[in-house]
Amino acid sequence: MKQVTLQPLNDHVSIKTEANLLEALLANKLDVIMACKGRGLCATCLVHVTAGQEQLTPMTDVEKRRLGRITTTKNNSRLACQARVMGDGVVVEVPEGMYMESVQDLMALVGRRAEQDILNPISGEVLIAAGKLITRSKVQTLESLEADILELRNKSSDRL
Ligand code: FES
């Protein structure tokens, strides 16, 4: 077993050696949408590794390509579903904000202010910033994004 620390919660999680970081997030009941079902194609399991990067398996080409397209990638970013834990001392920080799951969910929030950043599950960019009013027109402009998310999910199911 190996220990992983999740920030900003400062929770310590034990996971099996060679298990991926996604398991550490899920073990801590973090709500990870996994829009691509762990295939390395979306941004919803993006984490920033603040310590112990050398204890993770190196990036695969799929992960490198995907991270290259996520707008919020930093030098220490990894996709939790692709990075396997080989040693102790890995510390990861989960990006703040909530990923958009469906236009319908957002429609229910029209007229309210976003409590946290609402993020694009494919590119990681902020769609509606925390504190901003969620308007009907803003949500309607996200309809094409919802179609992209559905397509991604379908593609991921086909490939399983
Ligand atoms: S769950 Fe989609 S990239 Fe990890």
Confidence of residue 17 (pLDDT cuts 50, 70, 90): very high
Domains of the chain with CATH codes: 2-93 (3.10.20.30), 98-159 (3.90.105)
Mean pLDDT of the chain: 92
| Substitution site in 31, 33, 34 for ligand 1 pocket (most atoms within 8 Å of beta carbon) | 34
pLDDT over 70 (residue 160): no
Closest ligand 1 atom, CA of 35? 2
* SS3 (DSSP) at 115: coil
Q: Determine the average pLDDT of the residues in 23-43.
A: 88
Ligand 1 neighbourhood includes 94 CB (under 6 angstroms): no
Confidence of residue 31 (pLDDT cuts 50, 70, 90): confident
pLDDT over 70 (residue 141): yes
The DSSP-derived string for 131-150 is TSB--HHHHHTTHHHHHHHH
| Substitution site in 20, 33, 44 for ligand 1 pocket (most atoms within 8 Å of beta carbon) | 44
What spacing in Å lies between the alpha carbon of 154 and ligand 1's midpoint?
A: 14
Closest ligand 1 atom, CA of 156? 2
| Substitution site in 21, 79, 157 for ligand 1 pocket (most atoms within 8 Å of beta carbon) | 79
Cα dist. 22→13, 66, 129, 137, 144 in Å?
Answer: 11, 16, 26, 34, 28
Per-residue model confidence as pLDDT tens digits over 34-89: 989 899 999 999 999 999 999 999 999 989 999 999 988 999 999 999 999 999 99
Ligand 1 neighbourhood includes 67 CB (under 6 angstroms): no
Q: What is the per-residue pLDDT for 152?
A: 85
Q: Determine the average pLDDT of the residues in 108-115.
A: 95
The protein residue whose alpha carbon is closest to atom 3 in ligand 1 is 40
**Of the listed ranges 25-29, 57-61, 80-84, 124-128, the one predicted with least confidence:** 25-29
Q: What is the per-residue pLDDT for 73?
A: 92
Q: Determine the average pLDDT of the residues in 88-97.
A: 93
**Using CA atoms in the order 76, 98, 23, 8, what is the torsion angle rounded to 10 degrees?**
60
Confidence of residue 157 (pLDDT cuts 50, 70, 90): confident
pTM for this predicted structure: 0.90
**Neighbouring-strand partners of residue 128:** 118
Q: Determine the average pLDDT of the residues in 136-147.
A: 91
Closest ligand 1 atom, CA of 22? 4
Confidence of residue 119 (pLDDT cuts 50, 70, 90): very high
Joined tokens for residue 89 = 């001392």
